[in-house]
Structure 1
Amino acid sequence: MSEKLSIIQLGNPILRQKAEFVKDIHSESIQKLIDDLLATVKDANGVGIAAPQVASSSRVFIVASRPNLRYPKAPLMQPTAMINPRIVDFSNQLVKDWEGCLSIPGIRGLVPRYRTIEVEYTDKYGNLVHQQLTDFVARIFQHEYDHFEGLVFLDKVESTLDIVTEQEYQSLMFDKL
């Protein structure tokens, strides 16, 4: 049975460590971690979550784009567990857009990311998947992947002028509607 896990916050040293590769995808602990991450990201209104955010130094994350309170314009996709993912190629085009993080509540930042990426990962069943991701879903992947390298989105913001509170972000977004 899956359970909602506590999400650690910026300042916890685990968020700044490199995550370890998963050796046994089929282990009970990894399969439970995947189920728990799925429950946690849904409960938190997130569109992605990485294992380091729940204090597990494993290269596992969930990409779960869907419209919600935090991202009302997010495209809908099936939540996907990605184990030992990697970026194998990327476009030259960088796009700046707003990001937030469940481990850094109350803050948003404009972050440049590759618009299109080619990725490989192992799914929860042990299958190697190769796919191209674009726009918002590519952004989620890159954001979550950074957690494996001990990075958070604030490390990628080009200027402190590109950081706003969640409240200001919401008013900026609703003014555009």
Structure 2
Amino acid sequence: MKTLSDLLLLGDPRLYQNCDPVRKEELPLVSGWVADLHAVMEAIRARYQFGRGIAAPQLGIMKRLFYQNIDRPIVVINPELVDVSPELDELWDDCMSFPNLLVKVRRHKTLTLAYRDEHWREQVWTVTDWSLAELIQHEYDHLNGVLCTMRAVDEQSFRWRPTPTD
């Protein structure tokens, strides 16, 4: 079982690599990967009080897979953005791979995502909730070796996360 110490941190070259698709014959491995993703996300939540999703490459699993758990767990395998809105919005993005840093980025307000679920069924998900759309784009970027630091609005779009005592 992977732990918080297995989380790749900003600067690790694996975070900048494109991930390989999950192959159907690898499906038996997915439940173990998801268990690891869930465990590390829960550790981040306990330590830093944030975390709604995590991508496989953040644990050195170089596969096109991410996991999110807001109101229920969702496993996203081999996702493809099939449509994004032209409308953008800005937010202060955070990332488990650099938990104390916030980065101002622009993301599409809505999107449509095609992917396979943990049972290898094809899914199409149209997301109109801004908070969820930006999360999906963040995790999707991880699969392509793109960090939110690379999407910063400008060179002044970085700040430290306030600690609970600030």
Q: Is TM (by shorter chain) over 0.5? A: yes
Gaps in structure 2 of 5+ consecutive residues: 46-50
Shift in Å at residue 78 of structure 1? Answer: 1.0
Match of 1:147 in 2: 142
Counterpart CA distance in 1 for 2:73 and 2:89 is 24
Counterpart CA distance in 1 for 2:74 and 2:161 is 26
Q: Which aligned runs of 4 or more in structure 1 are off by greater than 4 angstroms? A: 168-171
Length-normalised TM-score, structure 1: 0.83
Please say if residues 26 and 125 of structure 1, whose CA atoms lie closer than 8 Å, have aligned partners that are also in contact.
no
1:16 aligns with 2:20: no
SS of 1:37's equivalent in the other structure is: helix
Among 104, 107, 111, which residue is 1:113 paired with?
Answer: 107
Length-normalised TM-score, structure 2: 0.88
String of CA shifts for 1:126-150, please: whole Å, max 9, x gaps: 1111111130111111001111111
Match of 2:72 in 1: 78
Shift in Å at residue 7 of structure 1? Answer: 0.7
Please say if residues 62 and 79 of structure 1, whose CA atoms lie closer than 8 Å, have aligned partners that are also in contact.
yes
State the identity as a percent: 28
Shift in Å at residue 24 of structure 1? Answer: 2.2
Shift in Å at residue 3 of structure 1? Answer: 5.1
1:137 aligns with 2:132: yes
Single out whichever of 4-13 and 137-146 deviates more from structure 2.
Answer: 4-13
